Amino acid sequence: MSGQLTGQRAFITGGASGIGAEMARRFTREGASVVIADVNDTLGKAIAVEVGGEYVHLDVTDSTAWEKIITTHKPFDIVCLNAGVATKTDVFGATVDYPFQHLDNDSYQHIMSINVDGVVFGARAVIPGMVERRSGHILVTASLAGIVAIAADPIYGLTKHAMVGLTKSLGAALEPHGVCVSALCPAFLDTPLLSDNTRKNLSLLDLGIMDVSIAGDLAMRALTERVSGSQWIVMDGQSISQYIPAAPFA
């Protein structure tokens, strides 16, 4: 590895598994020191031991917990707001006749609190220090579902479209302060979010599942390019690229 992150400190929510764990591994190989945050203490501590980092228990929906962690740790150069869930485990496997058929209030509040509130609370906690230092990079884990339609789980799509919109707006607002905000928008990665039934259905639809190591490549591309407000996409069999939508105004 190139050691591109030597001397930097990274904080990763949802770091106990999937994309978060992979970013922890990659950032460590690139020379960063990593703090992993999660609610799964067993897996989180195991990843921290694996990468030689630190683990903290964090419920991202608890704004008070965010403030305590940020004020009791040294400043972070990279903050990955990665923790996220879907409304159900079988995104492409559950049988429904129409959207929201099985969406109860608890399921709705659960996904919104983690996927939206958790990111907003995290950004709110770290932005003041980054602005004061005039440096820092916030990586928001969105999804390709934040750019295209996902009929199988419209609320998941809602939360990820929200993350893309938040990234665009925060990026524009924070760029003059020396702070960069980027969104990671991968297609299907081999993570615990995909159930066995979903994997089978994706195979039937000829939709490939990428190795989770791609998440590290995607994050490093965003960190290297440092384009504030940008969205970085990757699909099976294709190269990582910046998604640039057509401008609505001529």
| Residue 1 in this model has a pLDDT that exceeds 80 | no
Question: Which letter does DSSP use for residue 105 in this model?
Answer: H
Cα–Cα distance between 197 and 142 in angstroms, integer? 23
What is the structure's pLDDT at 117?
98
Residues in Cβ contact with 166 at an 8 Å cutoff, skipping those fewer than 6 apart = 119, 120, 123, 140
For residue 205, the domain's CATH number is: 3.40.50.720
Model confidence at 2, in pLDDT bands (50, 70, 90)? confident
Cα–Cα distance between 127 and 137 in angstroms, integer? 10
CB 219 within 8 A of CB 184: yes
Does 181 reside within a domain? yes
Catalytic residue among 55, 98, 108, 156: 156
Mean pLDDT of 236-247: 91
Range of the domain at 123: 9-243
Give 58-105 pLDDT, tens digit per residue: 999 999 999 999 999 999 999 999 999 987 655 555 566 788 887 899
What is the structure's pLDDT at 204?
47
Give 166-185 pLDDT, tens digit per residue: 999 999 999 999 999 999 99
Does 33 reside within a domain? yes
Does 248 reside within a domain? no
Cα dihedral across residues 81, 46, 10, 122: positive or negative: positive
Give 202-236 pLDDT, tens digit per residue: 654 556 788 889 999 999 999 999 999 999 999 88
User: Can you tell me which residue has the tokens 């429904």?
Assistant: 96
What is the structure's pLDDT at 98?
81
Q: What is the DSSP string of 7-57?
A: T-EEEEETTTSHHHHHHHHHHHHTT-EEEEEES-HHHHHHHHHHHT-EEEE
Number of domains in the chain: 1
Give 15-55 pLDDT, tens digit per residue: 999 999 999 999 999 999 999 999 999 999 999 999 999 99
- 243 tagged catalytic: no
- Please give the model's pTM, rounded to 2 decimal places: 0.92
Does 44 reside within a domain? yes
What separation in angstroms does the CA of 116 have from each of 100, 190, 231? 19, 23, 17
Does 232 reside within a domain? yes
Does 1 reside within a domain? no
What is the structure's pLDDT at 44?
98
Does 250 reside within a domain? no
Does 249 reside within a domain? no
What is the structure's pLDDT at 202?
60
